[in-house]
Structure 1
């Protein structure tokens, strides 16, 4: 199918394309966690640590791009908004590849609050807060996928004037809010896990 045909199909069937891409994305994540999709080379401990750092950098850049894009559209700078949002979406795709590789080829980490570390006396409460933030981060990452994809597909297949007659603005606002909070919490939990407290492989 030619590029023009793909774009035309996505333009007339944005919900269907969103559903297909969402299912593919979910399947890749579940497959990587379950170890049934051996797509990625094995990673050693040092590489997993490096990937964690890279993921945090990518998420920070994606969050920055999202917030810049949100600010630009409020100023009416449509083309700059488009560039910022596509940059954020590209970074999120990079994050997904790095994350799946880290999980599929390496391992996940569990937080460990050791004696002498920050708020050790309240370790139980700190862990509750950490896991609550992590849960919200994961939940928003999962449920926001179709919303983000739908907004992006509409944005890529319609002109700025045509977008006024679509649900792009509505879904775009939801996408920015959910992904921004998810990315922010992801970066916070990264710092807690990797730079404030200790971790063990799992």
Structure 2
């Protein structure tokens, strides 16, 4: 396996984080026109939130499996679970951003104003904040893992950053499910 050059981990983390977050904020801010994405039937757009909640629940499972695996010393299972978690995150974000761009913005909250102000917005804000914080942490942990042989990872901040990233990721995915329930089940 070829490794990412060690001295480039910080730079690559920064570049990937900036580019990723720029795309997210551009889509969320309406800076990407709907004409930039292929048109799909409305049924596909309507299915995306439901697919994304399944992806979120699955990601919670893979992160938990990865965390338990490394605590038990099973490095290979940990690696597979964490790569799967990253893939699920990318899939979630791709679907979410596609729908956001294709529909022209976020879905309005259909519930009462009090629930919107005191429940929905705080949960959504924390979910988004944690997701944004996770981006550089996840990139950093992944790039560290690809820049060194396993034996050397124990002498890096991979475990410390990985624990923080996994914790925040779990909370963010869980709050995303709460947002889904409020938008699609309760109201």
Output the TM-score relative to the length of structure 1: 0.84
Q: Does 1:128 align with 2:118?
A: yes
Counterparts of 1:88-99 in structure 2 under 5 Å? 88-99=85-96
SS in 2 for 1:150: helix
Residues 90 and 46 of structure 1: CA distance in aligned 2, closer, same or farther (over 3 Å): same
Query: Which stretch shows the higher mean deviation, 32-41 or 147-156?
Result: 32-41
Counterparts of 1:80-91 in structure 2 under 5 Å? 80-91=77-88
The residue aligned with 1:27 is 22
The residue aligned with 1:169 is 159
Flag structure 1 segments of 5+ consecutive residues without an equivalent. Answer: 115-122, 198-202
Query: Which stretch shows the higher mean deviation, 43-52 or 62-71?
Result: 43-52
SS in 1 for 2:108: strand
Aligned-residue Cα RMSD (Å) equals 1.9
Cα distance in 2 for residues equivalent to 1:40 and 1:167:
39
Whether the 8 Å contact between 1:43 and 1:102 is mirrored in structure 2 is: no
Deviation at 1:49, TM superposition (A): 1.9
SS in 2 for 1:110: coil
Residues 47 and 166 of structure 1: CA distance in aligned 2, closer, same or farther (over 3 Å): same
SS in 2 for 1:111: coil
The residue aligned with 2:145 is 155
Q: Which one has a bigger Cα radius of gyration?
A: 1
The residue aligned with 2:174 is 184
What is the number of residues matched between the two proteins? 184
Cα distance in 2 for residues equivalent to 1:124 and 1:36:
30
Flag structure 2 segments of 5+ consecutive residues without an equivalent. Answer: none
The residue aligned with 2:106 is 108
Q: Does 1:63 align with 2:60?
A: yes
